[in-house]
Amino acid sequence: MQLNAPFVKETRFGDWFLKTNMWKVRVLDRALNDLLKLLGNHQRRYANILDVGCGFGYSFEALSKRFHPDLIIGLDADPAIIERAGKAAKHCSSNVQLHAANAANTHLESASFDMVFCHQTFHHIVEQEAAMAEFFRVLKPGGVLLFAESTKRYIYTPQIRYLFRHPMHVQKTAEEYIDIIRHAGFDLPESRISLPFLWWSRPDCGMFEFFGFPVPKKREETLVNAVAFKPLN
């Protein structure tokens, strides 16, 4: 792996997993439902959405049903984005355009999106601070960032290290990801942060809880979900 690569491509197993019902229901839908709770009473229609790291495009229809956008831009650093996400884009109930570019340099217009959706993508990006600054740049004032990410604690578990591929030198804790969002200029109060400790994110895959042991209250968090806004001024 090249340390200066802009992103780290997933393994074959990872690509297979992204097509499974487990990913769609337990990971993607679960994160979106949690983000909706954090969003609260804010508007539920966002005309232009940037889906960062769209992969195979399974998030397109999930975003369309929840936010009724006029346009979704599916962005992915993989040059094969058209082949990977083309089918999902074609069958989405919203208009979808695919855009191959790195998250740290999207080549998209400033202040052109109402929402940026970044789900389980940030830990693949090497230039994380630059990518977050890019999210801030392309959002309109008052626009929202939906951020859902696995933390260093999860990425460093043996099963994830073996089955998936990530730039290990840039993995961060939940607190560090929150700091990156705030440092970029986003408004992110504690009330719009969630730290789910889902069974699949734990080193024991939930086996301790299955056998009756309590979920530890003191722990290093494995997941972080956040809803952040670009200030109006």
Domains in the chain, CATH or no CATH each: 12-201+217-229 (3.40.50.150)
C-alpha distances out from residue 170 to 51, 110, 208, Å: 22, 26, 29
Strand partners, 50: 73, 116
| pLDDT by 10s per residue, the chain, length 233 | 333 456 666 666 556 666 677 767 778 998 999 999 999 887 778 999 999 999 899 999 999 999 999 999 999 988 888 888 999 999 999 999 999 999 999 999 999 999 999 999 998 899 999 999 999 999 999 999 999 998 988 787 777 665 666 677 888 999 999 999 999 999 999 999 999 865 555 565 555 455 555 666 777 778 899 999 999 98
Q: What is the pTM of this model?
A: 0.85
Please, what is the end-to-end C-alpha distance for the chain in angstroms?
Answer: 41
Helices (H), the chain: 12-17, 21, 30-39, 59-67, 81-91, 128-138, 152-155, 158-163, 174-183, 207-210
